Amino acid sequence: NTKGKVVGKGFLGQTRNGVIVQLRASGLDPGFHGIHFHDIGKCMAPDFKSAGEHFNPFQKEHGLKNPKGPHAGDLNNINADAKGFVNTTFITRNVTLKKDMKNSLFDENGSALVIHAKADDQMSNPSGNSGDRILCGEIK
């Protein structure tokens, strides 16, 4: 989190249908939050700007509902329960863990998974009005 405390864990795995993401995190405000793969595998608190912008190797616009998008790193919102906990699993087809591919999360500068303070509207550039970066995990 923004104070440097470990509050969650994620697992990524390559499948023939895409990359599966299993995520558990706590300390969120209840409700929906934007979540994205970011371009740089560096999570420096307190603002996680070190993670760069959304992972966007194909130079698209932001949002899963944007006709000119999405960024490869754009994902559906996650929902934290009344206690601020999220436990979710999903698959994305826009990225890969296979090295030497343009949309690989394991490129030369790595990647990060970032959770934002608010829900992503899935349309607005550059990040769907999803607010501050509140959790960040380096993908290794």
3-state secondary structure string, the chain? Answer: CCCCCCCEEEEEEEECCEEEEEEEECCCCCEEECEEEECCCCCCCCCCHHHCCECCCCCCCCCCCCCCCCCCCECCCEEECCCCCEEEEEEECCCECCCCCCCECCCCCCCEEEEECCCCCCCCCCCCCCCCEEEEEECC
What is the mean predicted confidence (pLDDT) over 87-92?
97
Residue 62 tokens read as 């932001």
Residue 127: the pLDDT is 84
Lowest mean pLDDT among 24-28, 66-70, 85-89: 66-70
Stated pTM of the model: 0.95
Q: Which residues contact 109 (CB under 8 A, 6 or more apart)?
A: 39, 40, 41, 52
Binning pLDDT at 50, 70 and 90, where does residue 125 land? confident
Tens digits of per-residue pLDDT, 27-82?
Answer: 999 999 999 999 999 999 999 999 999 999 999 999 999 999 899 999 999 999 99
Residue 64 tokens read as 């899963």
Residue 126 pLDDT exceeds 90: no
Residue 69: the pLDDT is 81
CB 42 within 8 A of CB 118: no
Residue 48: the pLDDT is 98
Residue 20: the pLDDT is 98
Strand partners, 36: 74, 114
Residue 94 pLDDT exceeds 90: yes
Residue 89 pLDDT exceeds 90: yes
What is the mean predicted confidence (pLDDT) over 11-27?
97
Q: Which phi and psi angles does 51 have, rounded to 5°? A: -80, -5
